[in-house]
Chain A
C-alpha cells in the first residue's frame, strides 16, 4: 500500500516564505508531483521530481529525498493568489503504467 502525509492547513503572510512538507511510503516509486488547486478548480501542475535534490522554478521550488521518503514545496514572496490547496502526489509503477496517488492536500492561507 501507500501512505502519503502532508499537513492539513498552513497559514503565512504575504511576502513571506512557506515550506510545505510531504512524507511518503510506497513501493515502485517513480517520482513525486506537486499540484496547486484553487477552490472549485482543477489541479494544475507545479513540479515533478524524480532524482534527489532541489528543482527551482521561479517563486516555487521542490525538493526530494528518495532515501528519506520526503519532499517539500517551497513558496517564496508569497502573494494572496497563492492561497490554495497544494497536493503532493507519488507516482509508482503498476502493471506497466505509472499511477499518481495523491495526498489529502495542504490548504495554504495567505494573509495580508
Chain B
C-alpha cells in the first residue's frame, strides 16, 4: 500500500509568487491535515479537512488556503510568498479526524528567495 504522497518534494519560489502543494492520503483515509515545519521547530498546524470540509484552521494568514477533493486528495495554496514561508510542509492523513493514526508524508521543502 502506498503511504501519504506529497508533490513536489522540493520547490524554489520567488517572493510574491504563489505556490500549490499536493497531497494524496492513504487509501481509505478521509482526513487530511497540513503542517508547516520550520527548521529546528515542531510542526505547526495549518488546516484539517475531513470529507471535503474544513474542520480546523491554525493561526496562519489568509494567504494560506486549502481544499480537499472528492477522492480525498488535498491541495495547499500559499499566495504572495514571503521569505518566512520557507519551510517543510507536511501532510498527514487519518481515517477520521482524531490524531491517533496520523501518517505523515515526506513533505515538500519550499524555499522562497
A positions within 8 Å CB-CB of B: 4, 30-31, 33, 41-45, 48, 87, 89, 91, 94-105
- Report whether B42 and A87 are in contact in the complex, using a CB–CB cutoff of 8 Å: yes
Q: Chain B 10-45 against A: per-residue CB contact (8 Å), 1 yes, 0 no?
A: 000000000000000000000001010000111111
Given contacts A42-B106, A96-B97, A97-B56, 14 further A-B contacts (CB under 8 A): A4-B42, A41-B106, A42-B105, A43-B104, A48-B100, A97-B55, A99-B33, A99-B45, A99-B99, A100-B99, A102-B43, A104-B41, A104-B42, A105-B42
Residues from chain B with a CB closer than 8 A to the CB of A44 are 104
Given A87-B43, A102-B44, are A97 and B102 also a contact pair (CB < 8 Å)?
no
**Does chain A have a CB within 8 A of B48?**
yes
Closest 7 CB pairs of A and B: A102-B42, A100-B99, A42-B104, A97-B55, A97-B97, A91-B99, A98-B98
CB distance from B6 to the nearest CB of A (A): 9
Given A89-B99, A91-B98, are A43 and B56 also a contact pair (CB < 8 Å)?
no
B positions within 8 Å CB-CB of A: 4, 33, 35, 40-45, 48, 50, 55-56, 58, 90, 97-107
From the candidates A30, A41, A95, name the one contacting B55 in the complex (CB within 8 A).
A95
Which secondary structure dominates where chain A touches chain B?
Answer: strand
- Report whether A31 and B50 are in contact in the complex, using a CB–CB cutoff of 8 Å: no
